[in-house]
Structure 1
Amino acid sequence: MKALVKERAEPGLWLTDVPEPAVGADDVLVRVRRTGICGTDLHIRAWDGWAQQSIRTPLIVGHEFAGEVVEIGRNVTDVTVGDLVSGEGHLVCGKCRNCLAGRRHMCRATVGLGVGRDGAFAEYVVLPATNIWVHRVPVDPDVAAIFDPFGNAVHTALSFPLVGEDVLITGAGPIGLMAAAVATHAGARHVMITDVSEDRLDLARKIGVSLALDVSQATIADGQRMLGLREGFDVGLEMSGHPSAMRDMLANMTHGGKIAMLGLPSQEFPIDWARLVTSMITIKGVYGREIFETWYSMSVLLEGGLDLSPVITGRYGFRDFEAAFADAASGRSGKIILDWSN
């Protein structure tokens, strides 16, 4: 089968032929139809410091996918050949304290699809049936392919109550855009999103945010005044990983405000801890999705009319992966989809 492989410890990816994966008794074999390009895939392709420490070559990359079940293991009973499925890319041990308590998203032994084991940028992928999400209601395959990052957005956005609240989102990348769509759909009063890319801010406006603010031209405090806020934002969703974004968010929260932080900083940085204490602000770190409660929420949100189509800005055949990755790395796009159906 064809697959995108990190063959060597150097920049680049290679489209090559590899053996089809074997199917174990508890596994599901999926014929991949669509995949989404993630920031993690960009790091691996660029072979940056993180990738050099985290990746062992050769490796089939990719973890965002949707496809059709073509074979199930003999012990699998709740997945059927022909099902349209997506996959939870965090494979957990099932034995640690958190796993046994039903908190699988907190497993300390998590292995990442396309990072710690061969991934989904291929014509076929195998996963344990416990990592398979069956789409029981109709969903566009492009949207099904981005359930993984959509789950990050939902997990972050629904960390705190949003109805009637004023929400600040720092970072209008694809996950920030999806979080903005969720917050708006879930009943926030105002949703303000910040970035320095006018292309991505335009995408946010199509989603329907209250204010898309270019922070190279105006401050978050300016945004507060534009929205008529008197006491600051109630909920903050930090999606960028930039130190200045987190510090500016803290400076513009109301007393008792709550922040969910998904953005992953590249290094340690200081914040104003005195402000955090005296303003009684809560900060919650978010990683991945709650397995599978977040997935249920995602499906229900889509059933309820949430539209993610503006977030998907590029579609390429898998043989045009170089152009697709260049688009995803441009800093101007939303989600980029690779089509594996032909």
Structure 2
Amino acid sequence: MNGNMKALIKKPGEPGASCELVPIPKIDQHEVLIKVKAASICGTDVHIYNWDEWAKNRVKPPYVFGHEFSGEVALVGENVTSVKVGEYVSAETHIVCGKCVPCLTGKEHVCRNTQILGVDIEGCFAEYVKVPAENIWKNPLGMPEDLASIQEPLGNAVHTVLTGITAGVKVAVVGCGPIGLMAVAVAKASGASQVIAIDKNEYRLDLAVQMGATETISIAKEDPLKNVSALTNGEGVDLVCEMSGHPTAIRQSLKMAANGGRVHILGLPEHPVCIDMTNDIVFKGLTVQGITGRKMFETWRQVSELLHAGTIQIKPVITHHFSLEEYEKGFELMKEGQCGKVILIP
């Protein structure tokens, strides 16, 4: 397909981005070209937009960023048989090698050679995006385009919560950004007896209640460790989902977990974090697990089934829609924390 398209370009050396006309991507024989219908802003995109230390050390501008989307297949490569033009799709954004030991043993989500759409290669904040055919996920007809675009981050929440969880447990979600809010909904829907949402942002704590939180703790007003202890009769929670990446929050997550409990860490601290491993992990017998991406494609199937069955209600987390040209409004809301999920429409 020839011609140009609108796209958000991350420029090197400075915060921000620009909306420009660039060539529509050319696809190889194993790739699919998708006309983007909706793209959502992720915390990773904010890191790139802000040009923080993580972004400076990871991404190589200029390029199109963004990785969460839904759309319609516009063109398929000559060797593609698994998907057809016109189909309604989203995509797994971790592009793996298929050859390393994790890939060969069913652990593709921790492939040693992963490339991430919109981070390491051209992304989806554009009218068109190309992805390998093997990364395509076919959406149910009738699923709203904005909801379909957030299945990828919802997969992060599902992976974080459902790894090792059983019904009746007490769960704390530390950090109520969009994925943290989704984790609240997943925990509640999965049978948690308590879902404690912890953040400093009152707007997002209010959203957490809408998503199913049984209690909220504002760290701007309250001591999270004392409050979690009081809410759990001094036992602590069975599962802590650390979604913020803040060093203090990570240390507190280890302390608020019950003896023999689990701490799942999805948040990405910008720098190394000092923890008391002896007292807060070893002597407590904690299981601490890093969560990266989604199990391919086990988590995608869980997400699709949970949404299709109406088991989880995620719509409240989508709070704003903007055109691609209005991207600055969306990123400002994300930086200020006065939003849930922000959707850009090319």
TM-score, scaled to structure 2: 0.95
> Which amino acid in the other structure matches residue 296 of structure 1?
R
2:339 aligned with 1:333, yes or no? Answer: yes
Question: Corresponding residue for 2:324?
Answer: 318
> Structure 1 CA distance, aligned partners of 2:59 and 2:7?
17
Is the 1:259–1:282 contact (alpha carbons within 8 Å) kept by the matching residues of 2? yes
Q: Displacement, 1:221? A: 3.7
Partner of 1:6: 10
**Separation of aligned partners in 2, 1:282 and 1:40:** 26
Number of residue pairs the alignment of both structures matches: 340
Counterpart position of 1:135? 139
Map of 1:62 onto structure 2: 66
Distance in structure 2 (CA, Å) of the matches to 1:325 and 1:237: 25
**Aligned residues of 1:162 and 1:183 also touching (Cα < 8 A):** no
Match of 1:278 in 2: 283
Q: Distance in 2 between matches of 1:36 and 1:175?
A: 12
Which of 301, 307, 322 in structure 2 is aligned with 1:296? 301
**1:19-41, Cα deviation, whole Å (9 max, x unpaired):** 11112211111000000111221
- Contact in 2 for aligned 1:162/1:235 (Cα 8 Å): no
1:1-342 pair list within 5 angstroms: 1-224=5-228, 227-275=231-279, 276-305=281-310, 306-340=312-346
Q: Is the partner of 1:329 in helix, strand or coil?
A: helix
Q: 1:94-132: per-residue Cα shift (whole Å, max 9, x none)?
A: 111111222111111111111111111110111001111
Gaps of 5+ in 1: none
CA RMSD of aligned residues (A): 1.4
Which one is further off, 149-158 or 95-104?
Answer: 95-104
Percent identity between matched residues is 44
Which letter does structure 2 place at the counterpart of 1:297?
A: Q
SS at match of 1:270: coil
1:35–1:121 contact (8 Å) kept in structure 2? yes
| SS in structure 2 at match of 1:193 | strand
Q: CA deviation at 1:65?
A: 0.7
Q: Matched residue of 2:47: which SS?
A: helix
TM-score, with structure 1 as normaliser: 0.96
Aligned-partner SS, 2:294: coil
Tell me if the contact between 1:72 and 1:80 (Cα under 8 Å) persists in the aligned partners. yes
- Cα distance, 1:269 vs. partner? 2.0
> Per-residue displacement from partner, 1:239-287 (whole Å, max 9, x unpaired)?
1111221222222222110111101111112222222111111100011
